[in-house]
Amino acid sequence: MAVRHASSSPDEHEHVIDIQVQAVHVRRSPRYGRILGAGIVAGVLIAAALTVVGSTSGRGVASSGEAGIVWAFGLNAMVCVAICLLVSAGIILTVERRNLRRIRAARAAQEVTFVDDLSRPMTDQLPPWMRDES
């Protein structure tokens, strides 16, 4: 659908030739990176807490010195981060499914402008730095 309008630009040399308006659908989307990042941070914090509790209890791998603490933290981190990422993905899917019901219609406009400024002429010639004049 083509409509003629006045220029929205303050430059008097720009003239709007055409405005194309299209119907679009707008919806909010969850921030995947932030939610998954929060899941990773939560998994690492839970793994650190489990490692501290395991090392102070006096039993298990974590109580066998520094190497045991590193091994226990690594194993706890792998398991806890994986579980927290699964929970985060479930939250994302739930929020995404809920937001699919809230799609609303909108209109998007695109302006096609023409510049008739003779002090800045547009040509088909290549700029000087792109010419091969060797």
Mean pLDDT of the residues in the chain:
78
- Residues 54-67 have pLDDT tens digits of 777 766 666 667 77
- Residues 76-120 have pLDDT tens digits of 999 999 999 999 999 999 988 888 888 888 888 877 766 655 555
| % of residues, the chain, pLDDT over 90 | 28
Ramachandran region, residue 90 (left: φ > 0; alpha: ψ -120 to 50; beta: rest) = alpha
Q: Which token pair is 56?
A: 């102070």
**Which amino acid is located at 84 in the chain?**
C
Looking at residue 102, its pLDDT comes to 82
Residues 6+ apart with CB under 8 A from 39: 81, 84, 85, 87, 88, 89
pTM: 0.58
Looking at residue 66, its pLDDT comes to 74
| % of residues, the chain, pLDDT over 70 | 65
Highest mean predicted confidence (pLDDT) among 12-21, 46-55, 58-67, 119-128: 46-55
